[in-house]
Amino acid sequence: MAEEMGMPEGMTEEQIDAMEDAAGTAAEEAYTAAIEGGADPSAAASAAIEAASGAMTDMGAPPEMVDTMATAAQDGFDQAIDQGMDPGQAFDFAGQ
């Protein structure tokens, strides 16, 4: 997904993969912590998206690209919930 969104020139495939892994890990940890803390699924998804966005920005992703990806992820999550997916499925759907 990151390659399609315009990663900075000069980033290697390994750097992009590391960024995607870091963002995925941050998102999963934030989502789980939010759910365990009693947050509703939409709030947990927001926390996950924010965590992933922070990880990507910290690793050099352009903020405009990160904002675009974050909006798409939140919209995807909300759409999946509206279509009847359970929160876990919607979280996975939003990350595609």
Confidence of residue 49 (pLDDT cuts 50, 70, 90): very high
Region 3-21: mean pLDDT is: 74
Find out whether 45 and 94 touch, Cβ atoms under 8 Å.
yes
d(CA 92, CA 28): 10
Query: Is the model's pLDDT at 1 over the cut of 50?
Result: no
pTM over 0.75: yes
Q: Which amino acid is at 25?
A: T
Is the pLDDT score of 2 beyond 80? no
Residue-level pLDDT at 21: 92
Residue 44 and residue 18: Cα distance in Å, rounded?
A: 23
Contact 72, 49 (CB under 8 A): no
Mean pLDDT in residue range 15-38 = 93
Show Cβ contacts of residue 63 under 8 Å, excluding neighbours closer than 6 positions: 57
